[in-house]
Amino acid sequence: MSPDKILGLAGLAAILLAALAGLADRRRLRRSDLDRVGWVPWTPVFFFALLAAVVLLALAAKA
């Protein structure tokens, strides 16, 4: 498998992770019981996954 395909697949995985984190963050913000806080900081997970996706897909497009 060529490096550009590996980078592209990793970028797609990062996009999926960012989408999952975005949905989880939205769910956390709209919870009915405000005392039930989670232990995963979904906003930074979303941000860094999206950043990784942009970098990986840019590298895949360049390769």
Residues in the chain: 63
Domain count, the chain: 1
Q: Tokens 């390769």 map to which residue?
A: 63
Domain with 25, as residue range(s), is 3-62
Is pTM beyond 0.85? Reply is yes
Helices (H), 1-63: 3-29, 42-62
Instruction: Evaluate whether 20 touches 45 at the Cβ level (below 8 Å).
Output: no
pLDDT score of 4: 93
pLDDT digits (tens, 9 = 90+) for 12-61: 999 999 999 999 999 999 999 888 888 999 999 999 999 999 999 999 99
At residue 35, the pLDDT reads 86
Cα 20 to Cα 15: distance, rounded to the nearest angstrom: 9
Q: What is the pLDDT of residue 36?
A: 86
C-alpha–C-alpha distance, residues 58 and 13, integer Å: 14
What's the confidence (pLDDT) of residue 21? Answer: 98
